[in-house]
Each structure stands twice: as structure tokens, then as C-alpha cells.
Amino acid sequence: MKSAGIVVEYNPFHNGHLHHILQTKRITGAEVLIAVMSGHFLQRGEPALLSKWARAKMALHSGVDLVVELPYYFATQKAETFAFGAIALLHELGVDSFCFGSESGDIKTFEKTANLLEEQNEQIQNEVQKWIKTGISYPKAQSLAMKNVLKDVSLLDTSKPNNILGLQYIKAKNRLSPDMKAYTIPRQGAGYHDKQPNKSIASATGIRHSIFHPNGVRLDGVKPYVPNATFTELKKYLSTFGVLHHWELYWPYLQYQLLSAKPKELQSIYEVEEGIEYRLIEAAHQSTSFQQFMESVKTKRYTWTRLQRMCVHILTHASKEQMAAESDYPSYIRVLGMTSKGREYLRNVKKTLQIPLIAKASAYRNLLTADIKATNIFAMGLPSNKRSALLNSDLLFSPVIIP
């Protein structure tokens, strides 16, 4: 079976994602489509709106044949590590090609930039460190370093979020699976951060902005911008649990962690560096909401995204030692859901897999420690009388099956 892979978060699945799926199948000729999807906490350091099983169901109803989870150790990391983990899983699953959305839409520009970065890596990294010492963020420092070192070369615009991720996909592909074919399609409609829709396509950011209305959660406004399966799942989740997940639901737990921990304890948490633990503790004393807390601690050096990821790691007690030990390479393939075609594909490749394939998690709980912990903390965002439905669900739930 000819296969193609995509890397997704689906927070939530919308019409732009459906366009991506249809175009991926068209340009790759794939008979089976495999999605590597983040779990309950996402690359930008946010809790997902809905559980990973609900999001997997959205994907399977909209053209994906197999959904596997990107482990916590990769899903909540900077672009380079996130992309490496995702491409590694597609490599392990033996996919023939993968396709990603980008602002550029030109795969040759990605490949040219990746090759030049490899050739000039040492000089660029030295330049990055010089810029970081001026107090700017790493992404900005990297963009400036590339411009300085590769002055007269027409390169990818790495100020755009999807271009940044796409470049890391290509670098990971070159390192792990050179024979895997890469494709990119231009993003349609609203931009990544846009809060206003463009015709029938709105960004996930815009959809979440519309959902979380000042007067409460509202779904009707997003109906034109999501497939029916997504709208149905959003309504069902909200009806069942009473909430869609967002950071303010976790603020009491984060504040407790910050107020009860000693600075030295926070220093052991991944991404807590350069004495920022003192700033975090001070802001926790003075803030009454997550929004206020973030506005208090944000600086040019520490972007909103980097701080959110830091907060996720504080919630999950993810230590520097743990993250360093586990983020070298994925150690398992966790199946979240599949169609009959996805099941057939797994049967065909199962004997060639080099890492464990996990459908029922109970026998692999030692491998899934971080994902289980992330799920249980995610469940704490639900009302107290609803949490039991998600607590320990990693060990209790089977993959979603769609005929």
C-alpha cells in the first residue's frame, strides 16, 4: 500500500486541515494516510481543546487512516525536537512520503535552505549565540544568524511558524530517511495566528478565539469553518464534560506548584533556566489568572510559547534529566485510532517495526509514564465529578476504530 504521512495537532480539526488531507492524497497518490498527532499538551505549550481520542476521531472521520501519538517528550518541545520525533515515527512506520503545509509552498526552497544550514551549521550556531546574548529569543536569533551568514542567498522565510516547522521536517528527513519523499502545500485562507477567518477557512487560533467568548463557550460561530465531524465532536465533548480545555483551568495547579516549590526544585525542571524561577515565583504571588501571570513574566528573551512550554513541564514535573534521556529517539509507536485500511497497513508493516507497537497500553506502562502523567493532569481541568472519565484513560482506553 502506498503510504503518506502528515504531522498534526488538530486543535481542533478544521477545513484547512481537510484541504491538507485531500491535497496530500492527491499529490502523493497515497492509498493510506498516517497522522502523527500530539497528545494532550501541544507544541506551543497549550492544553488541547479536547482529548486526544476525540481529536483522533475527528481525523479518522475526515480521511486519515491511522493516528499515532507523538510522545510527550517530543510533542512539548521546540520545533527541531518536535519535528525530529514526528519524522522518526513516520520513518519507523515505513511511509513513502510526507506532506506539510507552509507559508512558502515551495519544497525546493526548503531543501535548498536545509542543505545550506547543514553546510554552514557551525558558523550559524556561533552567530546565534551572539544574538542571544543581546537578549532576543532563539527563533529571532536563528533568523538573524541565517541572514548574516547566508547573505546573498535566496532562502526560506523562517519568521513564519509553518516554514520553521517545515524546515525542521526536511532536516529530520535528510538525517533519518533520505529516501522518503517530501511535499509541501501552501496554507489556504487565514494565517497561523490570524483571529479572523478567510472565507470557509479559519486558523485553529481563530476558531479557539471564537469558541472562548467573554460570555462563555460558544460553538455556533465556528460551524462554517469545521467539518461536520468536528462540530459534532465539539458539541458532544462540551455536553459530556461541560468544558473545553484551556490554560485558565490549570492556573490553580500551576500557581500551587510555583508557590510550594523552592527555587532549587524548579531549577531541575526542563526549560527553567537562567534564574527565571525567581521571576516565576514572584509573578505567581501577584497574579490572579494565567493570562496575568504570563503578561508578568514575558520578556524579549522568553517568548510566550517558550514560557507556556515551561509551565507545562512544571505541571508534569518533567525534569531536565528525563527530557534529555527520552528525547533522543522515540521508543514506541502508540496507536490512537485507525480505519480498516489503517489496520491493514499495520498488519503489513508490523513484522518490520524496530520499536514496540502499542495498541493496549497496560503492558507498556513503563514506556508511557510521561504520556500517562500528561493525561491525568489534563483530566484535572475537568469538573471534579467528570474527571474519572479521563483519569488513567491511557491504560483503560483502546484505540478508536472507524470502519
- Annotated binding residue at 7? yes
Q: For residue 142, give its domain range.
A: 111-159
Q: How far apart are CA 331 and CA 12, in angstroms?
A: 27
- Annotated binding residue at 270? no
- Annotated binding residue at 317? no
Share the mean pLDDT of the chain.
92
Rg (CA), the chain: 21
- Annotated binding residue at 266? no
- Annotated binding residue at 17? yes
- Which is more confidently placed, 300 or 351? 351
**Residues 231 and 255 reside in one and the same domain:** no
* Burial classification of residue 91, based on how many CB atoms lie within 10 Å of its CB (0-12 exposed, 13-18 middle, 19 or more buried): buried
Q: How far apart are CA 282 and CA 286, in angstroms?
A: 7
- Annotated binding residue at 376? no
Q: Which of 12-16, 213-217, 340-344, 359-363 has the lowest mean pLDDT?
A: 213-217
When pLDDT is cut at 50, 70 and 90, the band that residue 191 belongs to is very low
Res 363 pLDDT > 60:
yes
What DSSP element (H or E) covers 125?
helix 121-132
Can you tell me the mean pLDDT for 340-347?
A: 97
Res 320 pLDDT > 90:
yes
Residue 60's Cα: distance from chain center in Å?
18
User: Of 298, 321, 344, at which residue does a domain stop?
Assistant: 321
- Annotated binding residue at 15? yes
For the stretch 104-134, pLDDT in tens is 999 999 998 898 888 877 888 888 888 888 8
| Pair type for strands 97-102 and 66-70 | unpaired
Work out the number of other CB atoms within 10 angstroms of the CB of residue 163.
23
Number of helical H runs and strand E runs in the chain: 19, 10
- Annotated binding residue at 13? yes
**Residues 87 and 191 reside in one and the same domain:** yes
**Residues 62 and 201 reside in one and the same domain:** yes
> Cell 495566528 sits at which residue?
193
Of 32, 184, 13, 199, nearest to 108 (Cα)? 184
**Residues 139 and 282 reside in one and the same domain:** no
Q: How far apart are CA 295 and CA 288, in angstroms?
A: 12
User: Of 260, 287, 321, at which residue does a domain stop?
Assistant: 321
Q: How far apart are CA 221 and CA 245, in angstroms?
A: 18
For the stretch 225-281, pLDDT in tens is 999 999 999 999 999 999 999 999 999 999 999 999 999 999 999 999 989 999 999
Residue 327's Cα: distance from chain center in Å?
15
DSSP, residue by residue, 357-395: EESSGGGGTTTTHHHHHHHHHHHTTS-TTTGGGTTTHHH
**Residues 40 and 124 reside in one and the same domain:** no
CATH number reported for the structural domain that contains residue 193 in this entry = 3.40.50.620
pLDDT computed for residue 161 by the predictor: 87
When pLDDT is cut at 50, 70 and 90, the band that residue 151 belongs to is low
What DSSP element (H or E) covers 334?
strand 333-339
Q: Which of 59-63, 124-128, 180-184 has the lowest mean pLDDT?
A: 124-128
Of 61, 71, 72, nearest to 12 (Cα)? 61
- Annotated binding residue at 208? no
- Annotated binding residue at 12? yes
- Cα distances from 270 to residues 59, 291, 304, 311, in angstroms, run 31, 22, 16, 10
**Residues 96 and 190 reside in one and the same domain:** yes
Q: How far apart are CA 29 and CA 24, in angstroms?
A: 8
**Residues 251 and 237 reside in one and the same domain:** no
In a domain, 164, yes or no: no
Work out the number of other CB atoms within 10 angstroms of the CB of residue 46.
21
Can you tell me the mean pLDDT for 3-18?
A: 97
Angle between helices 290-297 and 304-316 (to 10 degrees): 120
**Residues 267 and 305 reside in one and the same domain:** yes
Q: How far apart are CA 305 and CA 309, in angstroms?
A: 6
In a domain, 176, yes or no: no
Joined grid coordinates for residue 366: 513503563
**Residues 221 and 284 reside in one and the same domain:** no
Angle between helices 161-176 and 79-92 (to 10 degrees): 50
Rounded to the nearest 10°, the torsion over CA 116, 117, 120, 125 is 160
Joined grid coordinates for residue 197: 477567518
Q: How many domains does the chain have?
A: 3
**Residues 41 and 81 reside in one and the same domain:** yes
- Annotated binding residue at 187? yes
Residue 191's Cα: distance from chain center in Å?
17
